[in-house]
Structure 1
Amino acid sequence: MPPKGKGGKGGKGAASGGADADKKEKTPKGGTAVKVRHILCEKHGKCMEAMEKLKAGVRFSEVATQFSEDKARQGGDLGWMTRGSMVGPFQDAAFALPISSMDKPRYARLVIGEAKMAAPEEPELSQAQTEKLLQFQDLTGLESIDQCRRTLEQHNWNIEAAVQDRLNEQEGVPSVFHPPPPRPLQVNTADHRIYSYIVSRPQPRGLLGWSYYLIMLPFRFTYYTLLDILRFALRFIRPDPRGRVTDPVGDVVSFIHNFEEKYGRSHPVFYQGTYSQALNDAKRELRYLLVYLHGDDHQDTDEFCRSTLCTEEVITFINTQMLFWACSTSKPEGYRASQALRENTYPFLAMIVLKDGKMTMVGRLEGLIQPEDLINQLTFIMEANQSYLMSERMDREQRNQTQEIRKRQDEEFEASLRADQEKERKKREEQEQKRQEEEKVRQGVLMEERRRRNLEEEKERKSECLPPEPQADDPDSVKIVFKLPNDTRVERRFLFGQSLTVIHDFLFSLKETPEKFQIVTNFPRRVLPCLPSEDQPNPPTLKEAGLNRCQVLFVQDLTED
């Protein structure tokens, strides 16, 4: 199978199949590939004859040795091929075939087949890596999970470094963690629809003009020839210092300073950043980027800068329509841009715009161009590519809308989640409050039960400790009638010499008596000191209290008080 750009000429083609394999090769990893064999034939009849032998079961390597016109090295084996490494029709047929099969003649006279297919192999992510991957995607807003994974792998799964690098990239700042190698920047210059406008130097006019031209021709030829020889020789002595980019921003700032010293400060607004940053900003803002490569030694450079680039109409047009980046090719950063854009002569201008998802050069202007022509050519290029920018804007708006919808959905989800969490919290609080109240009631019941039990035990103890009731005919006895708060009457006899405490203990031992009470007389109304106090630690006897042999006392309930 011919690699891309190296296919057979005219009617030549290739035939391949995978029925047998003489050698085992290591399967490529990292992307889908096919292993193919081919037979290159000039005539269709010869190609069909080879097909018949293959169908009859003859080894592919033998048929390739007999029929292939490219000597069929290794039995026609081309090894592993990936997409993009072969011509279009050959590639489509090779990847469309089932494994170990052959195809009819293709690509004029072509027979192809497929032996094996290698699928990409990627290591499985750990749980920690998966969590970092999802977190990185949420933080950066990237939709491609593969791009998120590649970025994290480049930073050794350091999510802080990866996020910072992504933010730097969005702002057009070079990566501070993994700076890109100093190689030519990737700009799509392979588009065959690039508009080119080349201005040739005007021919001499008149006898005086031709005389001056002929006189200066040998000097000019000698100068440029010696200069080219000197540059070529210096390459063998030491490498071109422009190949090492150490301070790209400094290169651009230095060029702008030199330009203003030589041509004045009236010029289009220069982008003060690297070429890569200018590309990123133009891509992010969906604007055209005009790149000017300044050739210091070219004979038309001074006239272009003074008469074209620094004119008022050109300045106004460029400043209002596009970003403008410029640098001298004598600087490493300008030289790197030169390698990417591949200019032929100076002055050189390139128009770059986002096209089909890539920053693509859509126009190039070379030579000494006049201000009016420059504006006209740039306007033509912009109008011809305006549809691409409109398409990109629509796609970006759609992505932004999708992200906005997703953001709103996330916010609504977060709000709903917070509301659910708040409800759950309140529910837990209510349950806890209810539990505490129930526990409080239960403790109250227990305390009341304990208090009542203690009270009953105390009543029983007081009842057991009471002295016996004296006889009715005892001359020292006192008959007392107690009127309780519930209008119940209780009678008992006591001795005059007994303390009022005995009366209190008797009443306390009764079930009808309240827990707290005091004993009062009716006429005169006074409270009997039945319990010890600070003023009277020993309560008086019944006789000392002035009670009669037949006395009525009232029991007053103090529990509510």
Structure 2
Amino acid sequence: MLNLSSCYLHHTYGKMDDNEEELDQEQTEKLLLFQDLSGIEDIERCKRILQQHNYNIEAAVQDTLNESEGRPLVYNQPQSQPQERPPTVDTQPFVQRVYTVARPLPSHGWFQWSYMLILLPFRIVYSTICNLFPWIARMLWNDPRLNVVDPQGDVLKFVRYFTELYGLVHPNFYLGTYSQALNDAKRDLKYVLVYLHSNEHQDTDHFCRTTLANDDVTNFVNEHMIFWAASVDTPEGYRVSRALKENTYPFLALIVLRNSKLTVVLKIEGPIEPEDLVAKLTRGMRDNEGYLVAARQERADISLSQNLRQEQDEAYRESLRQDEEKEKKKRVEQEKLEQEEAARKEEEQRSQQLKEDKIRMRLEKAANLPAEPDADDPECVRLLIKLPNGVRLDRCFRKTDSLEVIYDYVYVQDDVPEEFQLQTNYPRRVLQCQPAGEGGTTPIPTVDEAGLKPKEMLFVQDISD
């Protein structure tokens, strides 16, 4: 009965497409045995439970019984989170190809199956105790691999180890942390190929020497993707292994930005030949290239929109600047006009004030002029004064009158210039009608002292300019 079911199950699930994990003979037998022990008719559910427990029948049966009785799970306890978490990576994308290459195991006969069924309760008890002890130990003592202290140092340590052991022919290692590699891939829209190295696995050495050291693999990876690697014995590698949920080694995961989220689009688990690795990586890239094209186009649109917005902002700022310059120029011109208007008004006020002062002074000087003496007076001097416009003034003065009296007489006339001086006809000389010397200390001479004749002609000279 078991062999018939095994054959049927192998025929149904043994050959799957690239989107599902292949089952070897041992896994198929464990799947049937678990279905018989658990009583679960849904074969897909049995398969998922076994996969969650890495095909450990004892752990799967115990946890199934605990779950049905409402007790906490023993073999599927979540581990504590690492101190530094890398960027979120979706390990369950819509389309994910998982390739597992397993070694064939020897088949079991009826005797072996009967023996296994007899020992199954003891093995369950023994496995429960063995698994409880590490779980309790993890509760009491922290796993040193959970404490990520120097993630980059872990990566560099592995790179040095790999190079010393396997030589220089290998893909170029990314010399940063896992988080930095994901950030660079997201920024540059590139693929990230993650390799997790386990020294304890039997296929690791062969994979490193024949596949990773292959020239075609090296050239292909260097040309198309970022290659990040670490050992699961280090905290950084162990943390990444928990995040990517690997099942066996050698382990490779292809990660790319998909729908604005870093996603594992391909897992390759187990030994693989160089040509098969290149072919599967090529297929994984081809299937997901559309997402990168869409991301590049989206970024180009965003960049174009930003550039357009920046140009609009610059044009707006330039318009504001020109408006400010126009306003400033207008304000300067307005201030200039206001200053000119103020100066003009000030000048008009000053001119008006001068006119008013002159009128007042003329009135004062006219009022202070001494009376004109008689022409028959022997002390009288008759002066004929000619203005620049040709008007002639005729008046008598006393010999004892100061020349300032003559100046004031001319000053109060209507057609006299703003500034003027008096001069004789012959010999031509300028009369001192105002105090001379520093501070005006030199006295003004009288008519007699000035040597004017009883009949003299004087000229008014305009010195306003």
| TM-score bracket, shorter-length normalisation | 0.7 to 0.9
1:229–1:201 CA distance, 2 compared to 1 (3 A): farther
- Distance across 2 between alignment mates of 1:188 and 1:476: 131
User: Mapping of 1:428-507 within 5 angstroms?
Assistant: 428-507=331-410
Range with greater deviation from structure 2 (272-281 or 254-263): 254-263
- Distance across 2 between alignment mates of 1:379 and 1:250: 31
User: Given residue 415 of structure 2, which amino acid in structure 1 is its aligned partner?
Assistant: E
Secondary structure of the 2:230 match is strand
Deviation string, structure 1 residues 408-462 (Cα, Å, up to 9, x no partner): 1111111111111111111111111111111111111111111221222222222
Aligned residue number for residue 151 of structure 1: none
- Distance across 2 between alignment mates of 1:482 and 1:309: 127
Q: Indicate if the aligned counterparts of 2:251 and 2:270 stay in contact, CA closer than 8 A.
A: yes
Deviation string, structure 1 residues 80-133 (Cα, Å, up to 9, x no partner): xxxxxxxxxxxxxxxxxxxxxxxxxxxxxxxxxxxxxxxxxxxxxxxxxxxxxx
Structure number, greater radius of gyration:
2
User: Mapping of 1:105-124 within 5 angstroms?
Assistant: none
1:439–1:273 CA distance, 2 compared to 1 (3 A): same
- By how many angstroms is 1:263 displaced? 2.3
User: Given residue 296 of structure 2, which amino acid in structure 1 is its aligned partner?
Assistant: R
Aligned residue number for residue 97 of structure 2: 195
Deviation string, structure 1 residues 189-227 (Cα, Å, up to 9, x no partner): 2224201222223679xxxxxxxxxxxxxxxxxxxx9x9
Q: 2:165 aligns with which of 235, 254, 262?
A: 262
Q: Indicate if the aligned counterparts of 1:201 and 1:368 stay in contact, CA closer than 8 A.
A: no
1:519–1:236 CA distance, 2 compared to 1 (3 A): closer
Q: Indicate if the aligned counterparts of 2:192 and 2:256 stay in contact, CA closer than 8 A.
A: yes
- By how many angstroms is 1:319 displaced? 0.6
Aligned residue number for residue 263 of structure 2: 360
- By how many angstroms is 1:480 displaced? 0.7
- Distance across 1 between alignment mates of 2:288 and 2:375: 133
1:271 equivalent in alignment to 2:174: yes
Q: Which has the higher helix share?
A: 2
Q: Indicate if the aligned counterparts of 2:89 and 2:262 stay in contact, CA closer than 8 A.
A: yes
Aligned residue number for residue 337 of structure 1: 240
1:280 equivalent in alignment to 2:280: no
- By how many angstroms is 1:246 displaced? 2.7
Secondary structure of the 1:200 match is coil
User: Given residue 317 of structure 2, which amino acid in structure 1 is its aligned partner?
Assistant: E
- Distance across 1 between alignment mates of 2:347 and 2:139: 103
Count of aligned positions:
361
**Unaligned residue ranges in structure 2 (runs of 5+):** 1-81, 107-126
1:289–1:184 CA distance, 2 compared to 1 (3 A): closer
User: Given residue 446 of structure 2, which amino acid in structure 1 is its aligned partner?
Assistant: T
1:414–1:280 CA distance, 2 compared to 1 (3 A): same
Q: 1:291 aligns with which of 183, 194, 197?
A: 194
- By how many angstroms is 1:232 displaced? 5.8
- By how many angstroms is 1:303 displaced? 1.8
User: Mapping of 1:150-299 within 5 angstroms?
Assistant: 182-183=84-85, 185-201=87-103, 234-299=137-202
**Unaligned residue ranges in structure 1 (runs of 5+):** 1-179, 205-224
User: Mapping of 1:35-114 within 5 angstroms?
Assistant: none
Aligned residue number for residue 546 of structure 1: 451
Aligned residue number for residue 321 of structure 2: 418
Q: Indicate if the aligned counterparts of 1:185 and 1:336 stay in contact, CA closer than 8 A.
A: no
1:313 equivalent in alignment to 2:216: yes
User: Given residue 235 of structure 1, which amino acid in structure 2 is its aligned partner?
Assistant: R
Q: Indicate if the aligned counterparts of 2:87 and 2:182 stay in contact, CA closer than 8 A.
A: no
Secondary structure of the 1:527 match is coil
1:422–1:401 CA distance, 2 compared to 1 (3 A): same
1:494–1:236 CA distance, 2 compared to 1 (3 A): closer
Moved over 4 A (4+): 227-234
Secondary structure of the 1:409 match is helix
- Distance across 1 between alignment mates of 2:431 and 2:315: 77
User: Given residue 304 of structure 2, which amino acid in structure 1 is its aligned partner?
Assistant: Q
1:559 equivalent in alignment to 2:461: no
1:461–1:192 CA distance, 2 compared to 1 (3 A): closer
1:324–1:527 CA distance, 2 compared to 1 (3 A): same
TM-score if structure 1 supplies the norm length?
Answer: 0.61
- By how many angstroms is 1:260 displaced? 2.2
- Distance across 2 between alignment mates of 1:498 and 1:430: 57
- By how many angstroms is 1:381 displaced? 1.0
Deviation string, structure 1 residues 280-339 (Cα, Å, up to 9, x no partner): 211111111111111122122122112211222211111101011111112222122111
- Distance across 1 between alignment mates of 2:146 and 2:341: 84
Aligned residue number for residue 430 of structure 2: 527
User: Given residue 186 of structure 1, which amino acid in structure 2 is its aligned partner?
Assistant: T
User: Given residue 194 of structure 1, which amino acid in structure 2 is its aligned partner?
Assistant: Q
Q: In angstroms, what is the RMSD of aligned CA positions?
A: 2.4
- By how many angstroms is 1:266 displaced? 3.1
Percent identity of paired positions between Structure 1 and Structure 2: 47
Deviation string, structure 1 residues 490-529 (Cα, Å, up to 9, x no partner): 1110012222222112112223222211111112212122
User: Given residue 456 of structure 1, which amino acid in structure 2 is its aligned partner?
Assistant: I
TM-score if structure 2 supplies the norm length?
Answer: 0.73
Q: Indicate if the aligned counterparts of 1:253 and 1:272 stay in contact, CA closer than 8 A.
A: yes
Q: Indicate if the aligned counterparts of 1:517 and 1:555 stay in contact, CA closer than 8 A.
A: yes
Q: Indicate if the aligned counterparts of 1:185 and 1:337 stay in contact, CA closer than 8 A.
A: no
Deviation string, structure 1 residues 232-290 (Cα, Å, up to 9, x no partner): 67435512122222322222222222222322333211112221221121111111111
- By how many angstroms is 1:544 displaced? 2.6
User: Given residue 439 of structure 1, which amino acid in structure 2 is its aligned partner?
Assistant: A
- By how many angstroms is 1:557 displaced? 0.8
Secondary structure of the 2:246 match is coil
1:240–1:283 CA distance, 2 compared to 1 (3 A): same
